[in-house]
Structure 1
């Protein structure tokens, strides 16, 4: 029994990392190309240059593969957004989010998975959990720092802030597919700062409209 156990470190312990990485890349490319509904393990394996068995050694099903890889991609940590100012924090965040949503893979995968989530409770639960956790972490920290600096009122609601900060860019890029310009991002920063109740929003508006 002991000898048998020593001979069988099979499974994750002996899985080659380069093959796992190739499968993950292939999954994202295949998902962007055909969508979840037409996705197959065979096609992912073929694109990765491996056998179906190599995929099934790592994941039990198409759903398991998609959920793990997409959750890992969605859950990647964003760079720290602590510039010392609410507006510059927002500007940096909007640039990072814009870059991510403009990526060809993201532009195809995100709308397709959200549509699939409406039909598949497991996909829906995973996406909601991962995306909401990341949004709460990044935006929550941004809001906490802004409140601490006095840039925002102490009673700023983090949940509302997440929707107000993340929603407009996602709608414009992923849903409406409207170009995002530098001037739009500048306007969005001011609009969101005002919507969140930035403490200097009113004085800044008055100085812009006052004579001289």
Structure 2
């Protein structure tokens, strides 16, 4: 069955510092197979129905290969999600202006969360946080943390340039940068084109000025 593979591109991450050899090649290939299988299984069945057995079967490995790496399904999920997010929340380039930085940050969000495959996983994870507070806390650290750190850099540069007040409400500022677009992408599914992003940038910059 043909599937959207952009999530797998996200999981590739950064290039290795050196080419692995010997046993390391097998080790890396097994981890890669498990990673691909887990995200495919997560998108198709959801976290509640996903099992270590199913991931192992899809990856073509034994359960022992998974348990050698992670002690539980939750540990596997959190580790692989965190790795994917941290590798793919790039620093927003300094455009020289707050508006330019905000637009650059919005483009990063669209690149990450605009994919239907990613959307299915994200919505499933949101539902799981209502059923498991412990998982919710861990997901906020693993997934939301890196994104908020990238948004904080946008605020910091705005303050340094004198475009934002030094006493800005940082938490509110981060919410303004992140939340409106994510709601649009994940819940509303409305069009997110260049015109929309331009208008949203203008609204967020105005909001940040009074945050």
Q: Same fold by TM (over 0.5)?
A: yes
Tell me if the contact between 2:165 and 2:209 (Cα under 8 Å) persists in the aligned partners: yes
Residue equivalent to 1:118: 130
CA distance, structure 2, for counterparts of residue 40 and residue 136 of structure 1 = 30
Residue equivalent to 1:67: 78
Tell me if the contact between 1:135 and 1:162 (Cα under 8 Å) persists in the aligned partners: no
Q: 3-state DSSP class of the match of 1:16?
A: helix
Residue equivalent to 2:15: none
- Structure 1 83/115 Cα, relative in aligned 2: closer, same or farther at 3 Å? same
Determine which of 66, 69, 74 is the counterpart of 1:55: 66
Q: 3-state DSSP class of the match of 2:48?
A: helix
TM-score (norm: length of structure 2) = 0.82
| Mapping 1:1-212, distance limit 5 Å | 16-76=27-87, 78-81=89-92, 82-197=94-209
Runs (4+) of structure 1 exceeding 4 A deviation are: none
Deviation, 1:75, is 2.8
- Which protein shows a greater Rg? 1
Deviation, 1:134, is 1.4
CA distance, structure 1, for counterparts of residue 143 and residue 49 of structure 2 = 24
Q: Which has the higher contact order (CA 8 A, sep 6+)?
A: 2
Deviation, 1:154, is 2.0
Deviation, 1:122, is 2.2
Deviation per CA, 1:66-112: give whole Å up to 9, x if none. 12111222333522221111111111111110110012331111110
Deviation per CA, 1:161-182: give whole Å up to 9, x if none. 1101100111000111212111
CA distance, structure 2, for counterparts of residue 64 and residue 132 of structure 1 = 17
CA distance, structure 2, for counterparts of residue 157 and residue 166 of structure 1 = 14
